[in-house]
Structure 1
């Protein structure tokens, strides 16, 4: 079996799994200085875009293509490449299709999509000037495109809105939901979908604290919230997107309103994947490989589900004991260190809350 992987930044997360499956790995990357280029069997440096990877896939006669892209801008090009390669060359590409990417890459279209399928989302309006605002403060101002908290502002008064419009001509404005932030991964392939356990990412703040700076835990335990509701809603969203790969969804739960709100959905690997793996034993990136080699199935995932308490803590630079090889695998470790130097995080798991607290004391 030979698989083409597109993008090297995330490849070290699955290199151990690819080798364990005796898969011949081919990788394309546009940056010759990128990390992890020493790991695959073959590496091809290609121009930006999807024409280079497509040509390498045909030249190498690969059996499948797995994009490992964790940012939004290239996703639409990947989607168009997927449709062409699958139709003309019968090579499966484990990624979202054009419709799914178009619906999820623009926050305004995502809002409209939620309303079409009957999923509750915070009230919103499109502002072309501050004077059009009709929602009560505080409100959240966003741009249609962007990720990782980019171009998001929590406005507490009209001066904040006017300040935002000094930089932007338009804004997606939605009501600020006071409550719990939740993330969940859904895996989908060939019309089958499975929602993994939800992850708790902390409480909303008027300061707009970035998720990377918060302590997160799994599974999600929020008083009054039924995790089955989160999983059912996430499944409904993925089913209606009708595409392949990883769907990462963000929700808010308001205890005051006893309401779950859908915020956004991404069709790419996400920042909570380590915590999901630690919590339930299912690694979403490894499942992309399973999709490519024909080993993805809902019964298989059900048989492999585990139940752990887990947490993810930002630590800057990790100086604790070294994890076992492979260092990115929870199959050999009860903790994984990830992220660039200066911004590292540690994700750890245990069979009880007390065991987890003791483990964290040893590590940090």
Structure 2
């Protein structure tokens, strides 16, 4: 679709807010997208699925949806499935890829099967969280290690565990957000992220963003509500390292079946500069602190144009291509 005539998009719903733990971030993302689309002449309207029934999308004549929801019931395939049934094209990955990418354990299993590098892990199911089982995890992964809920984002419920005595509290915190708990090998080194636009063989990786958080604490507060985190884009990494991160990100995106857009979080191990994939975000943040807009700017794509490009890629699983 041409980006020159916004009327061709028809009536557009920007889905944001929602009921997940990331609602606050989604409200910021969606507000930015809504303003950007309207500034380019798109007939865009706010739509909060936690306040309105999705059936209203059809009854009110929406032609497509920009999904700016984050977390559960927005990024996990559930809304995508509803939009499939309604027959309304939407941005981002389809039902299966959204569902799989939302689950970090399933994501890691697929990446490992395809030989892609990701940190070692131990999954503690809801019935595998006895004191003895929790205490045994550092024997497998070493210390320090990371404990996190496998189906949350934005660093919610994440703990860096330095010693055996911290394991119980870390697992208890994670279990507040998810019945299962993911314990992951800690990769000492630099954190970077790499965004992707497009679908299949036409997908392209954007410039890598290097992240420098105070004392390595790239947590929920520092991600969205302070200016203490420093970002470098262009990354300043050696060209070969940048290309390798883009290569594995594209491979990770394609093997999960992602489309439209996405963003992989990656750690570069300091000891040998090997990159490790942490997770794939299929509905990335679009706030003033978000990384996909930052990477797009470095590639010469303004925020408003980025929103239009993503909107133009809206599709359904049944069609598989942008409309």
TM-score, normalised to structure 1, is 0.66
Corresponding position of 1:18: 37
Matches within 5 A, 1:201-240: 201-202=211-212, 208-210=217-219, 211-212=222-223, 213-222=228-237, 226-240=241-255
Q: Deviations over 1:41-65 (max 9, x none)?
A: xxxxx53xxxx23x33323333322
Shift of 1:203: 6.6
* CA gap 1:74/1:17 in 2 versus in 1, 3 angstroms: closer
Greater fraction of residues in strand: 1
Q: Which has the larger radius of gyration?
A: 1
Q: Is residue 2:155 matched to residue 1:149?
A: yes
Greater fraction of residues in helix: 2
Corresponding position of 1:80: 81
Matches within 5 A, 1:106-125: 106-125=103-122
Aligned partners of 1:165 and 1:237: how far apart in 2? 28
Instruction: State which of 182, 203, 223 in structure 2 corresponds to 1:193.
Output: 203
Q: Deviations over 1:149-169 (max 9, x none)?
A: 111111111111133245548
Matches within 5 A, 1:1-364: 1=7, 2=10, 3-7=12-16, 9=27, 10-15=29-34, 17-19=36-38, 21-30=40-49, 46-47=51-52, 52-53=53-54, 55-75=55-75, 76-86=77-87, 91-127=88-124, 128=128, 129-133=133-137, 134-167=140-173, 168=175, 171-189=181-199, 192-202=202-212, 208-210=217-219, 211-212=222-223, 213-222=228-237, 226-270=241-285, 271-282=290-301, 283=303, 284-292=306-314
Aligned partners of 1:268 and 1:240: how far apart in 2? 17
SS at match of 1:226: helix
Do 1:188 and 1:244's aligned partners in 2 also have CA atoms closer than 8 Å? yes
Shift of 1:220: 1.3
Q: Deviations over 1:63-106 (max 9, x none)?
A: 322222234442222221232234xxxx4222321211221111
- Structure 1 unpaired stretches of 5+: 32-45, 294-364
TM-score, normalised to structure 2, is 0.73
Aligned partners of 2:307 and 2:98: how far apart in 1? 18
Shift of 1:241: 2.2
* CA gap 1:30/1:220 in 2 versus in 1, 3 angstroms: same
* CA gap 1:292/1:120 in 2 versus in 1, 3 angstroms: closer
SS at match of 1:61: coil
Shift of 1:172: 1.7
- Structure 2 unpaired stretches of 5+: 1-6, 18-26, 316-323
Shift of 1:256: 0.9
SS at match of 1:220: coil
Which structure is higher in RCO with an 8 Å CA cutoff and minimum separation 6?
2
* CA gap 1:113/1:70 in 2 versus in 1, 3 angstroms: same
